[in-house]
Chains A and B, each alone.
Chain A
Amino acid sequence: MTVDVDVVVIGAGPAGMSCSRVLAQHNVNVVVLDEQNAPGGQIYKNIEGVTEKRPADLDFLGKSYAEGIEIANRFRAEDIDYRPGSSVWQISSSVVGKRRELIYSAGGKSHKLMAKYIVLATGAIERPIPVPGWTLPGVMTAGALQSLLKTSAVYPTGKLVIAGSGPLTLQLISQLMDANIEIAAFVDTTPAGSLFRAVFHLPRALLAPEYLKRGWHLVRKLKKSGIKMYSVASNLEIFGDQKATGLSFTSRGSRYGIEADVIALHEGVIPNTQTGRLLNIEHQWDNSQNAFRPVLDGSGETSVAGVFAAGDNAGILGAKSAVLSGEIAGYAIVEKLGFIKESARDLIIEEAKLRRFIENGVRPMLEALYPAPDWIASADNETIICRCEEVLAGDLRKIVADGCAGPNQAKAFLRCGMGTCQGRMCASTVTEIIAKELKRPANMVGSYNIRPPIKPISLGELASLNEG
């Protein structure tokens, strides 16, 4: 059965929640789809469950997490058709009668919607980190450990090593410390000289001083914690046979080897561009974040008319900005549907943009403090870059030397990007390696074309869709 709606918002994180709230407040018929079981997105994952059932855990999860309940409550307060547990796997690139078809899977069945407007609020993913041994059980991301704490109050036991760089690693360490969970070591891969480069961005960062205060507090807390720390770490290698048992790395000129039961990697987050790629919207490479992001107009509309992007999938700006970007896209659509006047929209959007500019004050400083890793394009030849099809960095370099011109040819030759994850875990690495080998800008190299279904769908489910 196909159902007509005005707007479909994909994602119920801060961006999707605020966008759909604005739409519902103006009586727009909106459906919100999210593959998680509850609203919150990545940052506020399970915020309702924790607030209601385990409020004591808010102490260690922290204030910036606890704040999320207010956003979730405001979202719940509106009459919104919110469908959790719904994975969007197809969005049609053609428009029929001003509407675009979208298909999602929920509870083993697929459903179709026809929408006038679509808002991609799919958030960020953690940057894939191709180091030797990263496919071993026991190796996870920092976000994964956070997710366990948030959804289930489950924590790693044994020797836990956190290896990486960025605000999320500091936040995780702080949460683990407050929950009295032991951390064996922090292998900090932040390059030398970051602090010096960051100082130049201090004036703008002072626009949003609470971030600076929070960051400073985290760094001091870590220094006083007594956790074993290795700084300016590089050349990580994880070892183990059936599962990870340790890692080695270089820190300030010496090579170290340490034991570990659980290893949490993290090198920042990048936009989740999967749904945008499905629609073939225009993307551009962001040199400071080393990742693709969609090209947008002032209100968040993509190169495909009627399709908007808001939140971290449109470029990494964090949760507060995601709320504002969601509102901006919401008001733009409300105006397009004729519920408010252009002049009213412009006033509201300009104000939201100003607030977003202030919120983003800290971004240039964060990017200087925790620059995107510069070594991914130099990943060792023997390292797996595509986890699903077990393609090595060396395999890719070899076909590039033989004339392979880009990610889509690489996919045809090597099957990288054709496994179950459909390139989510290798696309950024493949672009970076090809760009380096061909000495060509990443923007020209491009990324994989993405085809439906973007989630594994059984043949039975496909058949049931046609039955209606």
Chain B
Amino acid sequence: MFNRLPNIIRKPIIFYFDNEPIEALEGDTIASALLSAGVVEFRKSALSHNKRGPYCLMGTCFECLLEVDGVTQQQTCLIEVKNNMRVCREETKRLITNDG
């Protein structure tokens, strides 16, 4: 569903998504690297467990949340992918909030 424009200048790097190696280019965000590698569903909705994927790519929708190097609920559209990074899907948890 997504592809790359011809680009030779950026350096290729490898990161891991759910333990599978994925090639990306330096400067990609985690989300853009995954999209161009054919991953479009990142998580499941909290209630009905329907599939979700990045919607805004600018930090507002929180549909791109993944676990990154052991830290949960990271907005992968805002984080630059790095060599050997370990990214994985997580069980969607409801946010514990202090109001109600």
Which B residues touch A126, using CB under 8 A? 56, 58, 60
Is the CB of A190 closer than 8 A to any CB of chain B? no
Which A residues touch B52, using CB under 8 A? 135, 137, 387
Does the CB pair A272–B60 fall under 8 Å? yes
Is the CB of A268 closer than 8 A to any CB of chain B? no
Does the CB pair A147–B57 fall under 8 Å? yes
Which B residues touch A141, using CB under 8 A? 55-57
Does the CB pair A42–B2 fall under 8 Å? no
Per-position binary interface string of chain A over residues 334-376, scored 1 when its CB falls under 8 Å from any chain B CB and 0 otherwise: 0000000000000000000000000000000000000000000
Per-position binary interface string of chain A over residues 14-40, scored 1 when its CB falls under 8 Å from any chain B CB and 0 otherwise: 000000000000000000000111000
Q: How many A-B residue pairs have CB under 8 A?
A: 163
- The B interface is mostly helix, strand or loop, or mixed, namely loop
Does the CB pair A390–B47 fall under 8 Å? yes
Q: Given B4, B57, B80, which contacts A153 in the complex, CB threshold below 8 Å?
A: B4
Does the CB pair B60–A424 fall under 8 Å? yes
Q: Given A151-B28, A412-B100, A418-B95, are A135 and B45 also a contact pair (CB < 8 Å)?
A: yes
Q: Given B45, B56, B59, B99, which contacts A451 in the complex, CB threshold below 8 Å?
A: B99
Is the CB of A139 closer than 8 A to any CB of chain B? yes
- With an 8 Å Cβ cutoff, the count of chain A residues facing the other chain is 59
Which B residues touch A53, using CB under 8 A? 9-10, 27
Does the CB pair B5–A144 fall under 8 Å? no
Which A residues touch B56, using CB under 8 A? 125-126, 140-141, 143-144
Question: What interface size band does chain B fall in?
Answer: 35 or more
Q: Given B55, B94, B95, which contacts A139 in the complex, CB threshold below 8 Å?
A: B55
Does the CB pair B40–A153 fall under 8 Å? no
Is the CB of B13 closer than 8 A to any CB of chain A? no
Is the CB of A262 closer than 8 A to any CB of chain B? yes
Per-position binary interface string of chain A over residues 440-466, scored 1 when its CB falls under 8 Å from any chain B CB and 0 otherwise: 000000000101000110100000000
Q: Given A49-B27, A387-B63, are A137 and B2 also a contact pair (CB < 8 Å)?
A: no
Which chain A residue has the least Cβ–Cβ distance from B42? Answer: A137
Is the CB of A193 closer than 8 A to any CB of chain B? no
Does the CB pair A152–B28 fall under 8 Å? yes
Which A residues touch B50, using CB under 8 A? 135
Which chain A residue has the least Cβ–Cβ distance from B99? Answer: A451
Q: Given A155, A262, A420, which contacts B62 in the complex, CB threshold below 8 Å?
A: A420
Per-position binary interface string of chain A over residues 114-134, scored 1 when its CB falls under 8 Å from any chain B CB and 0 otherwise: 000000000001100000001
Which chain B residue has the least Cβ–Cβ distance from A139? Answer: B55
Which A residues touch B46, using CB under 8 A? 388-390, 419
Q: Given B4, B47, B58, which contacts A152 in the complex, CB threshold below 8 Å?
A: B4
Which chain B residue has the least Cβ–Cβ distance from A242? Answer: B51
Which chain B residue has the least Cβ–Cβ distance from A180? Answer: B5
Does the CB pair A154–B4 fall under 8 Å? yes
A278 to chain B, nearest CB (A): 13
How far apart are the CA atoms of A317 and B46 in the complex, in Å?
A: 36
Does the CB pair B32–A152 fall under 8 Å? yes
Is the CB of B22 closer than 8 A to any CB of chain A? no
Chain B 31-74 residues near chain A, CB threshold 8 A: 32-33, 35-36, 40-42, 45-48, 50-63, 65, 71-73
Does the CB pair B1–A144 fall under 8 Å? no
Does the CB pair A42–B95 fall under 8 Å? no
Does the CB pair B55–A152 fall under 8 Å? no
Which chain B residue has the least Cβ–Cβ distance from A145? Answer: B57
Is the CB of A54 closer than 8 A to any CB of chain B? yes
A50 to chain B, nearest CB (A): 9
B4 to chain A, nearest CB (A): 6
Does the CB pair B94–A419 fall under 8 Å? yes
Which B residues touch A140, using CB under 8 A? 54-57
Which chain B residue has the least Cβ–Cβ distance from A154? Answer: B36
Q: Given B2, B9, B57, B94, which contacts A155 in the complex, CB threshold below 8 Å?
A: B2
- A53-B27, A140-B54 provided; 14 other pairs, C-beta below 8 A? A49-B27, A85-B78, A87-B59, A125-B58, A135-B55, A137-B42, A137-B51, A147-B57, A155-B3, A262-B2, A387-B61, A419-B95, A424-B62, A451-B97
Nearest first, the 7 closest Cβ-Cβ pairs linking A and B are A137-B53, A144-B57, A152-B32, A420-B62, A147-B57, A153-B5, A456-B73
Which residues on A are within 8 Å of B, measured CB to CB? 35-37, 42, 46, 49, 53-54, 57, 85, 87, 108, 125-126, 134-141, 143-144, 147-149, 151-158, 179, 242-243, 261-262, 272, 387-390, 411-412, 418-422, 424-425, 449, 451, 455-456, 458
Query: What are 29 A-B pairs at a CB distance below 8 A?
Result: A35-B78, A37-B80, A53-B9, A54-B7, A108-B71, A125-B60, A134-B55, A136-B51, A137-B40, A139-B55, A140-B57, A143-B56, A151-B28, A151-B29, A151-B32, A153-B4, A154-B5, A155-B5, A387-B55, A387-B63, A388-B62, A390-B45, A390-B47, A411-B99, A418-B100, A421-B60, A456-B62, A456-B65, A458-B72
